[in-house]
Amino acid sequence: MAEDSCVVAAGVPLAAREGFTRGNVRNMVRLILNAVIYLGSAAIGLFVTSLILGDDFKLPIAALLLGTVLFALFQMILGPFIFKMTHKYASALTGGVGLVSTFVALLLTDILVADFSITGISTWLAAVVIVWLITALATWLLPLFLLKEAADNRKDK
């Protein structure tokens, strides 16, 4: 039988038994870095939006952690799904994918996190735009800071 990375022997893929390669480690580091950036941008977006919108966008610090994790998870899942659906069925709406996925992620987070609430149509509209804008900017800027710090640490060694 030819040894292939997909071959499973004794319940363990051969690639897993062969150990980590540099490519595997780089992919894992990239995955972790992306998750940190996603969670960080979601936390910043939700927190700043709660400061801007005040009592109509209630997200106590205790609910921020759960809200951040759920919002980031929903965004990671919904973004590509909504993009694919709009591209396939309504290509003219493709530009609004970020806003739509932000709205749906906020709605699901609002439903699932007890202490999180958004009241009023104008607050919902403002929240979607503000969270979308801040998370987009944070997703763009956070890697610059994280990678700069990592590069500085590497130079010191």
Which residue in this structure is represented by tokens 């749906």? 104
Q: Which of 68-77, 83-92, 135-144 has the lowest mean pLDDT?
A: 83-92
- How far is the C-alpha of 132 from the C-alpha of 74, rounded, in Å? 13
pTM here?
A: 0.73
Q: From CA 45, how far away is CA 132, in angstroms rounded?
A: 7
- Domain definitions of the chain by residue range: 35-156
What pLDDT sits at residue 8? Answer: 45
Q: What is the mean pLDDT of residues 43-66?
A: 93
Q: Determine the pLDDT at residue 68.
A: 92
φ, ψ for residue 13 (rounded to 5)?
-60, 145
